[in-house]
């Protein structure tokens, strides 16, 4: 499976199809930060790239996010998402 680099042009196109609200929110966060190396959810600068694991997505769906430790923990705890570092997923 091809993993899209979070916040790349291709990532935003795919995310807009999958979750338009999240795509718009992340685009605004990145624009406000002035850089793409920020958390997809909150804009923090201490981030790593993750793949959503244990869920099936079609090839056009971005299964990656750039997250800070707090948002990673919140997704795992509150949403039940299992995320693995993108480097470990390749």
Q: Does 7 score more than 90 pLDDT?
A: yes
Q: Is 81 exposed, middle or buried (0-12, 13-18, 19+ CB in 10 A)?
A: middle
B/e letters for 33-55, b = 16+ CB within 10 Å, e = fewer, are eeebebbbbebbeebbbbbbeee
| Total number of domains in the chain | 1
Question: What range does the domain containing 67 cover?
Answer: 9-89
Instruction: Please state the pTM of the whole predicted model.
Output: 0.84
Residue range 11-61, pLDDT digits in tens: 999 889 888 999 999 999 999 999 999 999 999 999 999 988 866 666 667
pLDDT at 90 over 60: no
Q: Is residue 3 part of a domain?
A: no
What value does the CA radius of gyration of the chain take, rounded to a whole number of Å?
Answer: 12
Would you say residue 1 lies in a domain?
no
């Amino acid at each position: 499976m091809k993993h899209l680099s979070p916040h790349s042009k291709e990532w935003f196109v795919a995310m807009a199809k999958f979750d338009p609200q999240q795509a718009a929110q992340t685009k605004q966060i990145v624009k406000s930060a002035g850089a793409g190396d920020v958390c997809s959810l909150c804009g923090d600068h201490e981030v790593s790239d993750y793949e959503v694991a244990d869920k099936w997505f079609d090839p056009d769906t971005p299964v990656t996010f750039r997250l800070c430790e707090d948002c990673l923990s919140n997704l795992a705890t509150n949403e039940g998402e299992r995320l693995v570092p993108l480097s470990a997923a390749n």
